[in-house]
Amino acid sequence: MSGKQETEKQKKEKLLQYRKQIDRLDEQLIRTLAERHKVIREVFSNKISDSAVIRDAQREEKLLKKVRETALEEGIDPYFTEQLFRDIIYQSVRFQSHSLLDHQNDKLEVRTITVSYQGTRGAYSHQAAMRHFGERYDDVRCIGFKTFEQAAIAMEEGETDVAILPIENTTAGSINDTYDLLADKELHIIGEEVLKVNHCLMTTEPVSVDTIRRILSHPQAISQCSRFLAELNHTQIDPYTDTAMAAKKVMEDGDPTQAAIASSYAAELYDLHILAKDLANQPGNFTRFVIVSRDPIVCDPQIPTKTSLMLATVHEKGALLQCLNVLDKYGINMTKLESRPRIGKPWQYLFYVDLEGNRDESNMKQALREIENKAAHFKILGCYPAQSEV
């Protein structure tokens, strides 16, 4: 019996040593990535001086080929390894693109930025802001507000440098409040951020989901998790100002029958227990945010770019089609078309359009000029770097 107990003890000690070894290797991986990023910064500094291109597609393909070959030699899944390195390359290109953008707009030496957003610390907008600016600035100061409009006004009045606003979600669709703000205010889109959203159910204690009687969350999150919530027959679903604010209230109330739907980051911040994860109707749940500023920016031609505009057509048959035909004429790809009622003009609509390309390119310039001549109302919302996957 004693020998058997000793064997079990030895197994536990050996497992503990393996885990410690894995922890050391993980730390080494992080340090190596940090060292790689330092080199990328140096590479970017040289590219500014000699005007070299940010992305070398041929070199990337050679690198990925070598990665696959080395992975096979080392007995690692080459598909997994390639995807990992694609993410690493993407982050490198993303950093260099943003740095070039800051350089061209005389912001490379600016080390602090203030960002207004709707919600509180731990909200998805807060996470998107930190992801977008955290690598570019030494100090990112995020200021939360109760509404999207308050966040936009804070930026307009100079309280913050920029505002970040959610504009569409892959599950719930367009976020109309943001489109209406773009129509009503002088906001210039200067960037976008796409965030993978993982909605979690959380409360103060590790209880069964069946014991939850009230769930709080932002209306958008509730909409995105409608199938999961529909199965909770004895639970009251209440809209709340923000996902993170809902998590904070659950923490403050201390009632284990009350839960919030928010991010795992919010659960960590407010010391809540996660009862269920991945609650969205679709497994791939992403929210796209736009960064807006008081002034437009200039984008280098080598940066993949979007141009967003807003227009109202004249009240004639086929007026919208005439505008869209202009895009086909100049070979411009449209990635988004959204309509919203025109405020103060019953039965008239504003159309929001996202186009691939830079507003300063020759074809785009001509196309925009022709569309403006055909439209009853026309406004360019911004030209900014497009976020794309590798």
Reported as half-sphere exposure (CB side, CA atoms, 13 A), residue 136 has a value of: 24
Q: Identify whether the C-beta of residue 131 lies closer than 8 Å to the C-beta of residue 287.
A: no
Q: Which of 85, 148, 289, 351 is catalytic?
A: 289
Residue 70 annotated among the catalytic residues of the structure: no
Question: For residues 157-186, b (16+ Cβ closer than 10 Å) or e, as one string?
Answer: eeebbbbbbbbbbbbbebbebbbbbbbeee
Query: Phi first, then psi: what are they for 53, rounded to 5°?
Result: -75, 150
Cα 195 to Cα 131, 168, 184, 198, 335, distances in angstroms: 9, 11, 26, 9, 18
The helix/strand/coil state of 326 is helix
How far is 58 from 61, CA to CA, in rounded Å? Answer: 5
C-alpha–C-alpha distance, residues 71 and 337, integer Å:
43
Given 287, 305, 307, 313, the catalytic residue: 287
216 token code pair: 């709080």
d(CA 288, CA 306) in angstroms, rounded, equals 14
**Catalytic: 287?**
yes
Name residue 192's beta-bridge partners: 290
CA distance 241 to 177: 14
Tokens standing for residue 287: 């929210």
Distance from C-alpha of 281 to C-alpha of 291, rounded to nearest angstrom = 27
Instruction: Give the residue numbers annotated as catalytic, written as ranges.
Output: 287, 289
